[in-house]
């Protein structure tokens, strides 16, 4: 099956700080790849390079057949194909849930109001918030707001979703409902790359787990890799968390 995402020997520095030191991995259609690792190991930077929120210094990134590192890349096209959800949900506070969701499909995909509303209905059902279309963000819990942020991203009908520690700002009791939504998306065949510190979740949902350490892929394998670390660094990470 074809690769949706392909990174080959990616290097990225910020000034004199080398953050990605030759990162290579592939994500096939329908695969779930989880990236774990200590704070500062380069996980977010790797994700941000995939949809070109950061430009790389050398190497190759391809997403859905687009060469991301090409200076002439169609950024709007790339960002239609790639959805990204962050720890902070950044919903527009003065817009309803439905308005938050329909904005981008109308502006960036030229959907009619009726088409966008139908999409909003579908994605809100997917995240279990069909009854919240008319609510304002402040009327929702953190977990619900994060699910709206996921729905907003899904409304763009992306080929691949990137999740960057989307539960780390949430209280433990709200984390589960967000992870459940991601798990259902995975079960539905969505291709995704997720940075997470939820080890049990990574083990359960990911086809491939990548452990990053100091800007490199230190160890990679299936979910079971976490039960049987091959390197001292992963063993220590599994034992001590962050």
Which residues contact ligand ADP by CB under 6 A? Answer: 14, 17, 19, 37, 39-45
For β-strands 66-67 and 58-63, DSSP reports them as antiparallel
CB of 17 to ligand ADP, least distance (A): 6
From residue 167, alpha-carbon distances to 85, 145, 146, 180, 188 in Å are 10, 11, 8, 11, 20
Q: Considering Cα of 15, then 59, then 203, then 175, what sign does the dihedral take?
A: positive
The interface partner of residue 42, options being ligand ADP, Mg ion, none and the CB cut-off 5 to 8 Å by kind, is ligand ADP
The interface partner of residue 240, options being ligand ADP, Mg ion, none and the CB cut-off 5 to 8 Å by kind, is none
Q: Which of 77, 64, 50 is nearest to 193 (CA)?
A: 50
Cβ-based nearer residue to ligand ADP, 9 or 74: 9
Cβ-based nearer residue to Mg ion, 44 or 191: 44
Assigned token pair, 186: 């995975």
Indicate which single residue of 6, 31, 41, 44 sits in contact with Mg ion (rule: CB under 5 A): 44
CB of 46 to ligand ADP, least distance (A): 7
CB of 145 to ligand ADP, least distance (A): 22
Using a 10 angstrom Cβ sphere, with 0-12 exposed, 13-18 middle and 19 or more buried, the burial of residue 16 is exposed
CB of 122 to ligand ADP, least distance (A): 31
CB of 169 to ligand ADP, least distance (A): 14
From residue 107, alpha-carbon distances to 31, 80, 116, 175, 239 in Å are 29, 11, 10, 31, 47
The interface partner of residue 126, options being ligand ADP, Mg ion, none and the CB cut-off 5 to 8 Å by kind, is none
What gap in Å lies between CA 42 and CA 33, rounded to an integer? 15
The interface partner of residue 232, options being Mg ion, ligand ADP, none and the CB cut-off 5 to 8 Å by kind, is none
Cβ-based nearer residue to ligand ADP, 40 or 65: 40
Residues in the site for Mg ion, rule: CB under 5 A?
Answer: 44
């Amino acid at each position: 099956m074809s690769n949706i995402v392909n990174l080959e020997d990616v290097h990225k520095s910020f000034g004199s700080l080398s953050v990605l030191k030759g990162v290579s991995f592939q994500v096939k259609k329908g695969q779930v790849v989880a990236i774990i690792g200590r704070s500062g190991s380069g996980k977010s930077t790797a994700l941000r390079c995939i949809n070109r929120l950061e430009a790389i210094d050398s190497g190759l990134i391809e997403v859905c057949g687009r060469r991301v590192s090409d200076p002439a890349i169609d950024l709007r096209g790339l960002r239609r194909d790639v959805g990204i959800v962050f720890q902070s949900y950044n919903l527009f506070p003065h817009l309803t849930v439905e308005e938050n969701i329909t904005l981008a499909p109308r502006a960036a995909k030229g959907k009619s109001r009726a088409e966008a509303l139908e999409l909003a209905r579908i994605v809100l059902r997917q995240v279990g918030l069909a009854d919240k279309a008319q609510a304002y963000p402040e009327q929702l819990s953190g977990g619900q707001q994060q699910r709206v942020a996921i729905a907003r991203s899904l409304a763009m009908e992306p080929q691949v979703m990137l999740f960057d520690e989307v539960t780390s700002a949430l209280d433990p009791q709200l984390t589960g409902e967000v992870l459940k939504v991601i798990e259902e998306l995975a079960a539905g065949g969505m291709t995704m790359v997720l940075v997470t510190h939820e080890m049990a979740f990574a083990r359960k949902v990911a086809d491939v787990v990548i452990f990053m350490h100091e800007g490199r892929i230190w160890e990679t394998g299936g979910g079971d890799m976490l039960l049987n670390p091959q390197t001292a660094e992963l063993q220590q990470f599994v034992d001590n968390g962050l």
